[in-house]
Each structure stands twice: as structure tokens, then as C-alpha cells.
Amino acid sequence: MMKNSLAGELAAEFLGTMILILFGTGVVAQVVTSADGSAGDHDSIAWAWGIGVTLGVYVAARVSGAHLNPAVTIALALFRGFEWRKVAPYALAQFLGAFVAAAIVRSVYADLISKVDPDHTIKTQGIFSTLPGNGLDGVSITTAFFDQVVGTAILVFVIFAVTTARNAAPLANLAPVVIGLLVVGIGMAWGANAGYAINPARDFGPRVLTLITGYQDALFDQNGTLYFWLPIVAPIIGAVIGGATFVHLIERYLPADEPLVAEDAK
Amino acid sequence: MMKNSLAGELAAEFLGTMILILFGTGVVAQVVTSADGSAGDHDSIAWAWGIGVTLGVYVAARVSGAHLNPAVTIALALFRGFEWRKVAPYALAQFLGAFVAAAIVRSVYADLISKVDPDHTIKTQGIFSTLPGNGLDGVSITTAFFDQVVGTAILVFVIFAVTTARNAAPLANLAPVVIGLLVVGIGMAWGANAGYAINPARDFGPRVLTLITGYQDALFDQNGTLYFWLPIVAPIIGAVIGGATFVHLIERYLPADEPLVAEDAK
Amino acid sequence: MMKNSLAGELAAEFLGTMILILFGTGVVAQVVTSADGSAGDHDSIAWAWGIGVTLGVYVAARVSGAHLNPAVTIALALFRGFEWRKVAPYALAQFLGAFVAAAIVRSVYADLISKVDPDHTIKTQGIFSTLPGNGLDGVSITTAFFDQVVGTAILVFVIFAVTTARNAAPLANLAPVVIGLLVVGIGMAWGANAGYAINPARDFGPRVLTLITGYQDALFDQNGTLYFWLPIVAPIIGAVIGGATFVHLIERYLPADEPLVAEDAK
Amino acid sequence: MMKNSLAGELAAEFLGTMILILFGTGVVAQVVTSADGSAGDHDSIAWAWGIGVTLGVYVAARVSGAHLNPAVTIALALFRGFEWRKVAPYALAQFLGAFVAAAIVRSVYADLISKVDPDHTIKTQGIFSTLPGNGLDGVSITTAFFDQVVGTAILVFVIFAVTTARNAAPLANLAPVVIGLLVVGIGMAWGANAGYAINPARDFGPRVLTLITGYQDALFDQNGTLYFWLPIVAPIIGAVIGGATFVHLIERYLPADEPLVAEDAK
């Protein structure tokens, strides 16, 4: 079937990631630029990120498999036979989708951002990319790194669990809803140390956008330490750990007489 | 089959939109007329609007296709073959459903509205229709317009993604739940600049109702600028952009050997 | 099939309503007896009532049809051929389930209730049954009555919409989840005027329990007016209106060549 | 089929419970170590525990049946023919999964815990295991015990209701989502008296972890009374009551001509 021509796959990864980031950075923009919870709070941030994931996956699932995350793409290449030659193009499409979405949020929220943070400081830069301790003191770089490894390991381990048909995964094309809940839960339980990037494209795309639109320190953390690399490297390590854990500790015990993954899934 | 006689379709659009607005303006009435979050807050507003969408779609889906929104109706006429001659009647039924629902909310909440806002100012007019910056300073009309284009483009793009059967849409008649989540997410991430009308009938129906029930300035924004046209025009533009994006960047890559839309769907 | 022997049906209605009220009055007890949102707030009340409905329906659906509400039972007798001779027994079972659940909540929360409200006043009586304006001034009895008619009409209209198979109702036995969302939405949008009883058994069962466990004024509202009858009478009227609206304005336009209700449903 | 070899079952119970506790204690860590709701509140705690349950069940359902709770395992042995010889190994795997998850949370949140509670008192010990009244005065041990019996009876009664295929349980492998909602509801309505342990492994595994990592009084409540036994004993009693209620008051009325439990379920 021709459905998997690379052009279509890249368009789908681009648009799926764009939807994810339109909701994800959009909700943080709404909360940060409004007063005292009048337009949302921590809970709405967690929910809207999860909803963005669910919807982004629905956009792209049929055409590209809806990775939306370079760490997930690498895990699928390692453990599910996704072609290595497509990893870099997928990652680029994901990065561009996140970048363009951040540009739209940056524009539409420009009035409100200028109102609450006229100097474009860390306060509103945090709308777009992550920081250790979400910009507050008390979390070391080592902890942030470890946190991102754990968070992404949980993400990929559970994604494998709920998309492996043989593991009694959700049917009726409803796995995207459960994956959205997964990200809601990560935001609620694994967001305090490093803002749950758990996705190199999600973090670096919007970070580059802010760097070229008035946030000079976008590559650094609140203490002036180079930081942009951490939400790229740690999630990849975590994704490998999460995928390996599923394959070696759950998948090997699944019944062998059914297809591992549903036919229509990538 | 006779099911699509126009009378039935208009009844379904009327009642589906009425349910949507009974929840949507109802929740804002409850929050605005109660003290300090004791009966809800931003989050409950976002959730109840989304639940209203889900339930309104279930009411009308089988009989009319559950557009509930003139911008959606126009997008379906442009991209899905919905008959143009039905566009105006559908829009009128949607407007009337929203109008009647607003009248019910206006009546049932009349005691509480008079208690917290005896002069019927912008404070409680905002229960029914939208304003730039939700009535606060800092958002220009241009930004509000752009925001409504983006918000409705997201709405229609994702609606197409989750109702196009060939795109691995949700099965088991559960797409209405996902569309509800979509609107919850838009409320959380795209509600700060212009109150996420994203639907001409949703905004104009209740606006006319307030105009004739004691809110003299209902057609204007908080600065006295004529505003009612914006949540009509901008969503239509956004809907066309969203639909076109799906058709040209996702749909063209879908496998050709299955029906695009499920047989029972409109 | 023998499954519908009346004894089983009454056991199912009893237990399904008990689960509903264990969550519903439980969550209000938790919120009212804890300080400043530390154990919940308006939003958790709305969600837990809805979850209680979803779970109560799953408990009873197969055996009794899971009415859990005398107003629903009457609407089903009027419009769906439910046997009139069973209406009174069903209502009694529902009342008893609500009464026993309230007794359990009253016991388990007795320590905390005595701590925050040693005189057993209206403050904690509101855990169990409803009041105009939720005990605050500003809502007339007439408004409370009208509110309960509207709220229950919405409830029954949407229940009919999502349980009528021919109307593209949710499949995979998932209608109870959507019905739970319906009640979440009613709590968020239609709870300010009269506490969304929308169910005579839900209100009167716990009210009688409080009357005999230390709350002498349980039959009256905060102004000393006899009130217990309102959340019984108004919901029944609303249920009839909601059911009639569905039958006459949606159902008549549904295709005639499919069963109206799924075979397994009652 | 070999899928049910004990090694695989124990791996699945270990990992499923680990996922549950990674979300459950993770969210409490996030909320307790952040200021004033800036990273969550009671509601996010309730939701993330429920999401953890849903995801843990998806991880383990196919291989082990996803008990994740010794009280559930005992109820399944009593009422569903689960082999008694596997009860102790299952409980041990569940305990170890909870213990390891708590160790990960303890490590990743070590910076933030030391920041807000340098002496490692009851304040942050409550991240990991439960206390009467959640550490506040006013709830007797007797009440806490009764509360845990009731909460676990509700848990197991509803689990039986939504996993007994013949009782119109959710299809499409979506019961784990409903079971997650069940735990969200218990957290909202049955969490005030004793912190809704409702699972001996969930409570005792993290409690032992804290005991050996700086919390000397982890086996006692805030008044110095030995407490660790209560969230072990009371849930087991509650589980038996909940299972027996379902079997004797619902299951006996179900139609006899279908399998009680779906073939693929354990």
C-alpha cells in the first residue's frame, strides 16, 4: 500500500506534533498570562497537555503511526522494527511541527505576554520550554536528568503496553485516549523536577522559537547553566529503558499465537 | 432512506445546539453568580462546555450529523459534499437552539444574576457571549480575530481527523467523547484572548437574547467597539483553513481502498 | 429468560442506587468536613457524583436496567413500555439504597461531622439532601422548582439520546460513562439554584436518614419552609418533559428499520 | 497456553503495581513539595491515582490478570477460582513493585523533600503511606478501620461488576479506564478518614521503604499508635464483603447462558 510514502508520514508527524504543541504551550500561555487561576491552573495544564497528545495521535496515527516524539521514534526503531533511515526525517518533522506551533502561540499570545512580562524573562519563556524545578530553586541538574529518564521510561513502557495488541490493548481505536491519560498523569506526578519535557522535539522546537523571538537566554536554565541538551538526551535514554523493560519483562510472557501489533497499526 | 428529511435535521440541529448551550452558558452562569469558586471555576467551565458538546453531538448525530455550528456546516459543504442549499437552514436552526437555551439559562439564573449584578452589566453579559480578553484590557481586536481563526481551524481540523473513518477514527460511536475533549482543550489553551466562541451560533444566539433582556450594549465590547461580527466572521475563516489543511495534508495520504467516512455517518 | 425476576431487579436497583449515593454523599461529606479545599472542592463534588452514576449504572444495568431514579423509572414507563406495576417497587428499592448509603456515610463520617458541626446544623445536613441556593439566600422556591424541572428534563432527554440504539448511541457497553459525564455537566452547570437533586430517591432517602439521626429540620429549607417535596415533584415533571421531547422531536425522525433499543438493554 | 507461567505473572504484578505507585506516590510528592497548589492539589492527587490504576491494569491484565492488590487477589481466590497457592507469591510481587516504585519516587524527589521537610517528619512521610485523618486530629482508629472496610468493599464490589462479562461490563478492553474512574471516585469521596489505602501492598511497600530511608516512625500514626497493620487488615475484610455482596446479590440474578467472565480475562 502506498499510504506510507515518506512525504505523507512527515506531513502527519508535522501536523500531529503541531496539534500537540498548540494545546501544550497554549495552555501554559493562558495560565501564565492570566491572574490567579482565572484562566486555569496546574490542573488545566496537565489536562490540556494530555488532550493535545490524544488529538495529535488521532491526527497522525493512520498515516505515520503518530510518534510525535523523537524518543518514541528511536524506541520503535530499536524494538518494533521501525526503519532507522526514517528516524532523522521523523525527528525533523516533529521538531518543525513543535516550532511552528510555538510560533503561532507566541503570536496569538503576544499581547498578553507583553502585558505580564514586558522584558520577556524566564517567567514567560517557561511557557515554551522546560527548566529544572520549573524555574524555582532546589532541584539539581542531576535530579532533573534522572527525573527525565524516569518520566520518559514510564511514558514509553506504558505506550508499548497499550499499543501492543497482544497485551489486551484498548480496542475501537481508543488507545489515543489512554495515551492522553498517561501524559495527564505524568504531568501531575512527574512534573515538579523538570517540567516533564519527556520529548526532545516538544522542548527544543519551542526553545529555538523563543531564542529567535526575544528570549536571549533560552538555551540556559535560571542559573545560567547550559540546559537545552538535557531534555533531549535524558528522554532518549529513558525511552530505551522503558521499551526494553516492556520487551523483556512483559512481552516475552505474552501468548505467541496472535499478532503482536494490530495489522493496521504501524 | 427518509431519515434525512429536512424537518428532522433541523429539529436535531436545534436540540443538539440547545443542549450544548444549556451546559455552556449554564456553567458560566453558575460560576459567575457564585462566590470565590464555591460553585466552580475556570476548570469547570472548560469541562462543562466540552461535556455539552459531547452530549449535543450524541443528541443530533444520527439525524442531522450534529454540526451544531455554522462554521462546521460551511466546512462540511466545502469539503464533504454537504448540500449548500441546507447551509442556511442549518445555521438558522443552530442559532435558534442557542437562543432558546440562553433564554432558559437567563430565566433560571435570573434570581442569582440580579443578586450579583443588579444593573446587568458586562459582568453577567459575559455569561452569554464573548469579549476580547474576556472583558479585561490588553487584547487587541486584531489579536482576538487571529485567535478565533486559529481556534476554529484547530477545531475543524481535528473534527475532520476524528470523524474520517479511513483515518483510524474512534469506533463504537465514541467520536463525540473525543470531540468533547477537543473543546475542553480549546477552552483551556485557546480561551484567554477571546473566550473561544469558535462557533457563530453559540455566540450570536445568546448575544441577541441578552440584547432583548436588559443588556443594551450586548453588540459591543467593553470599550464600546462593535464586536458581535467578530465571533461570526473569524470562525468561518478558521473553519475553512482547518478543513483545507486536513484535506490537503492528511487525507490525500490516506489509503484509497476504504470509504472515507463511515456509512452511517453523514 | 428468568433474569428479570422482580427480586433480582430490586436488588440491583437497591445496590446501584447505593453505590451512587455512597460516592455522591461521600464526596460532599469529605469536602464539607475538611478545611479550605484540602480534600476537595466544587469540582471534585461534580466529578464524584458523575462517577457514582457511571458505576451505579454498571452495577445494575444488566439485571434491572439501572434506573436508579424514580423520575427515570416513570419516564421509562411512559415512553419505553416499562411495566407500571413495577414502578412503585423500583422507587422503593431506590429509596432504600439511597437511605442505606446515607447511613453508611453518616456513620463513617460521624467523627468529622461532629468536629466541624457539633450541633448538626444545616451546614452538614447539606451533605445529604438539597436546599434552594445550596443554603444561601437569593434563590426563590419558584426558581428552585423551575431549575429542578429543567435539570431533570436535560437528564432524561440526554439519557434517552444515548441509550436509544437507533440514535447512534455509544457501543461497547460504554453508555454508562457518557451518562456519568452528563451528571458531571449538570453538577457544573445546573447546581447553583437547587443542588441538582434531579432524583427523588437521591434526595429523599438521605433526607429521612438525617431526620432520624440528629437533624430535626431536615424536611425544611434554611428559611423554615417545608421543602422536601420539591426535589420529589419537580424532577418527575422534568423527566416527563425530557422524555417527551426526545420521543416527539428526535425519535420520530430516526430510521425505522432498526430496533429502537439494543436487544440486551431493557 | 503457557502465558500464565508463574514467572510471567509475577513480573506483570510487579510492574503493574510499580506503575500504579509511580503515579500514586509521585503525585503526592509533587503536591506536598510544591507551594500552594502550584503543582497540584487534592483533585490532581485523586486523578493521578486513578490514572495510575488504569495504566497499571493495562500493563498487567493480559499476563497476570492485573490484581495489583493483595485484597483483590484474596477476593478472586475466594469467589473466582484464582488458585490459593498463587496468593502469597502475587502479594509478594505486588509488595515489591510498590516498594521499588516508592524507592524511585523517594530518590527523584529527594531534593524537594529535603527542601520542604529537612527533618523527614510526618509531613512528607504521608507521601508514601496513609494515616488516620490524613495526619490531622479528629478521626479515631475505629473510624479509620471502618472506613477502610467500606472503601475496599466498594472497590471490590464494583471491580466485580465491571469485569464480569455477563453483567454487561465495558467491552473493547476498556474496563481498566472504568476501574481508574472508580479509584478517582474513592479518592474524592472516601479519602478523608484514612487516606484510601484500600490495598495492603500500596500502603505497606512504601511504608517499609520510608522506614529504611530516614522516617523512623513510619509504622506508627501521628499519635504514636502502631498503625501499619490497619491498612493491611481492614482492606482484606472489605474485599471479602464487597466480593460476597456482588456474588450473592447481583451475580445470582445474571442470565446463566453466557460465560461469567470473558474467555481472555483471567
Q: Residue A4: what pLDDT? A: 52
C214: left (phi over 0), alpha (psi -120 to 50) or beta: left
What is the residue range of A16's domain?
2-253
- In this prediction, residue B258 has a pLDDT band, given cuts at 50, 70 and 90, of confident
Interfacial C residues in 165-224 facing B (CB < 8 Å): 166-172, 174, 177-178, 181-182, 184-185, 188-193
User: Using a CB-CB distance cutoff of 8 angstroms, which residues of chain D are in contact with residue A138?
Assistant: 111-112, 115
Question: Cell triple for residue D13?
Answer: 504484578
Q: Residue A67: what pLDDT? A: 98
Cβ pair D12:A134 closer than 8 A: no
Residue type for position D92: L
Residue A264, in any domain of the structure: no
Q: Quickly tell me which residue has 443594551 as its cell.
A: B216
CATH code for the domain in which residue D162 is found:
1.20.1080.10
Q: Which residue of D has its CA nearest to B170?
A: D172
Distances in whole angstroms, Cα of residue D251 to Cα of each of A40, A111, B195, D167, D263: 44, 61, 50, 8, 17
Kindly report the backbone phi and psi dihedral angles of residue C194, in degrees, each rounded to the nearest multiple of 5, phi listed first.
-155, 20
| B23 → closest Cβ in C143, C189, C254 | C189
Residue C214 has pLDDT above 80, yes or no: yes
Distances in whole angstroms, Cα of residue D180 to Cα of each of A192, B75, B143, C60: 23, 37, 40, 19
Residue A262, in any domain of the structure: no
Residue C262, in any domain of the structure: no
Distance CA D98, CA C135 (A): 44
Residue C234 has pLDDT above 60, yes or no: yes
Three-state SS at B30: helix
Q: Residue C257: what pLDDT? A: 74
H helices within D65-166, ranges in order?
Answer: 70-79, 87-108, 110-116, 122-125, 141-163
Cβ pair D47:A157 closer than 8 A: no
Residue D20, in any domain of the structure: yes
Residue A121 has pLDDT above 90, yes or no: yes
Tell me the pLDDT tens digit for each residue of B232-252: 999 999 999 999 999 999 999
Contact between A97 and A15 under an 8 Å Cβ cutoff? The reply is: yes
- In this prediction, residue D213 has a pLDDT band, given cuts at 50, 70 and 90, of very high
Question: Cell triple for residue D24?
Answer: 500514586
Interfacial A residues in 89-128 facing D (CB < 8 Å): none
Dihedral sign, CA of D164, D165, D168, D170?
positive
Query: What's the average model confidence in pLDDT over D50-78?
Result: 98
Query: What's the average model confidence in pLDDT over B99-114?
Result: 98
Residue D261, in any domain of the structure: no
Domain count, chain B: 1
Query: What's the average model confidence in pLDDT over B114-135?
Result: 95
Contact between D94 and D206 under an 8 Å Cβ cutoff? The reply is: no
- In this prediction, residue D35 has a pLDDT band, given cuts at 50, 70 and 90, of confident
Q: Which residue of D has its CA nearest to C29?
A: D189
- In this prediction, residue A129 has a pLDDT band, given cuts at 50, 70 and 90, of very high
Residue A91, in any domain of the structure: yes
Q: How many CA atoms lie within 13 A of D96 on its CB side?
A: 12
Q: Residue D263: what pLDDT? A: 54
Q: Residue B1: what pLDDT? A: 38
CA C49 to centroid of chain Cα atoms: 9
Q: Residue B266: what pLDDT? A: 40
Question: Cell triple for residue D226?
Answer: 502502631
- Check residues C260 and A266 and name the one with the higher pLDDT: C260
Tell me the pLDDT tens digit for each residue of C45-74: 999 999 999 999 999 999 999 999 999 999
- Report chain D's C-alpha Rg in angstroms: 18
Residue B265 has pLDDT above 70, yes or no: no
Contact between C185 and B177 under an 8 Å Cβ cutoff? The reply is: no
Q: To the nearest whole number, what is the mean pLDDT of chain A?
A: 95
What is the nearest CA distance from D170 to chain A, expressed in angstroms? 11
Question: Cell triple for residue D150?
Answer: 467500606
- In this prediction, residue A265 has a pLDDT band, given cuts at 50, 70 and 90, of very low
What is the nearest CA distance from B172 to chain D, expressed in angstroms? 9
Three-state SS at A224: coil
Residue C263 has pLDDT above 60, yes or no: no
Contact between B172 and C172 under an 8 Å Cβ cutoff? The reply is: yes
Q: What number of other Cβ atoms are within 10 A of residue D39's Cβ?
A: 26
User: Using a CB-CB distance cutoff of 8 angstroms, which residues of chain A are in contact with residue B46?
Assistant: 40, 44
Residue C126, in any domain of the structure: yes
- In this prediction, residue C4 has a pLDDT band, given cuts at 50, 70 and 90, of low
Neighbours of chain D (3+ CB pairs under 8 A): A, B, C
Residue D266, in any domain of the structure: no
Q: Residue D4: what pLDDT? A: 53
Query: What's the average model confidence in pLDDT over A82-101?
Result: 98
User: Using a CB-CB distance cutoff of 8 angstroms, which residues of chain D are in contact with residue B172?
Assistant: 171-172
What is the nearest CA distance from A184 to chain B, expressed in angstroms? 12
User: Using a CB-CB distance cutoff of 8 angstroms, which residues of chain C are in contact with residue A181?
Assistant: none
Kindly report the backbone phi and psi dihedral angles of residue D147, in degrees, each rounded to the nearest multiple of 5, phi listed first.
-60, -45
Q: Which residue of D has its CA nearest to C39?
A: D42
Which one of C4, C10, C43, C63 would you mutate to disrupt binding with D, by most D Cβ within 10 Å of its Cβ?
Answer: C63
| A62 → closest Cβ in B143, B172, B254 | B254
Cβ-proximal residues to B216 (8 Å cutoff; 6+ apart), any chain: none
Query: What's the average model confidence in pLDDT over C153-179?
Result: 97
Q: Residue D256: what pLDDT? A: 82
What is the nearest CA distance from A142 to chain D, expressed in angstroms? 10
Which one of A253, A257, A258, A261 would you mutate to disrupt binding with D, by most D Cβ within 10 Å of its Cβ?
Answer: A253
Residue C29 has pLDDT above 50, yes or no: yes
Contact between A188 and A46 under an 8 Å Cβ cutoff? The reply is: yes
User: Using a CB-CB distance cutoff of 8 angstroms, which residues of chain C are in contact with residue A171?
Assistant: 172
Contact between A249 and A157 under an 8 Å Cβ cutoff? The reply is: no
Beta bridge partner(s), residue B126: none
Three-state SS at D7: helix
- In this prediction, residue B4 has a pLDDT band, given cuts at 50, 70 and 90, of low
Q: Residue A256: what pLDDT? A: 82
User: Using a CB-CB distance cutoff of 8 angstroms, which residues of chain A are in contact with residue B162?
Assistant: 55, 58
Q: Residue C125: what pLDDT? A: 96
- In this prediction, residue A74 has a pLDDT band, given cuts at 50, 70 and 90, of very high
Q: Residue B75: what pLDDT? A: 98
Tell me the pLDDT tens digit for each residue of D145-165: 999 999 999 999 999 999 999
- In this prediction, residue C37 has a pLDDT band, given cuts at 50, 70 and 90, of confident
Q: Which residue of D has its CA nearest to C18?
A: D154
- In this prediction, residue C266 has a pLDDT band, given cuts at 50, 70 and 90, of very low
Cβ-proximal residues to C114 (8 Å cutoff; 6+ apart), any chain: none
Beta bridge partner(s), residue A98: none
User: Using a CB-CB distance cutoff of 8 angstroms, which residues of chain A are in contact with residue C41?
Assistant: none
| A192 → closest Cβ in D33, D176, D177 | D33
User: Using a CB-CB distance cutoff of 8 angstroms, which residues of chain D are in contact with residue B37?
Assistant: none
* C147 at B interface, C-beta within 8 A: yes
Residue A62 has pLDDT above 70, yes or no: yes
Distances in whole angstroms, Cα of residue D159 to Cα of each of C23, C218, D53, D246: 15, 35, 12, 10
User: Using a CB-CB distance cutoff of 8 angstroms, which residues of chain D are in contact with residue C37?
Assistant: 41-42
Question: Cell triple for residue A236?
Answer: 532518549
Distance CA D238, CA C108 (A): 14
Tell me the pLDDT tens digit for each residue of A1-34: 344 589 999 999 999 999 999 999 999 999 999 9
Burial of B171 (0-12, 13-18, 19+ CB in 10 A): middle
Distance CA D117, CA D127 (A): 12
Query: What's the average model confidence in pLDDT over A69-86?
Result: 98
Q: To the nearest whole number, what is the mean pLDDT of chain B?
A: 95
Q: Residue D265: what pLDDT? A: 46
Residue B264 has pLDDT above 80, yes or no: no
Q: Which residue of C has its CA nearest to D246?
A: C59
Outline where DSSP puts E strands in chain C: none
* B42 at D interface, C-beta within 8 A: no
Q: Residue B37: what pLDDT? A: 75
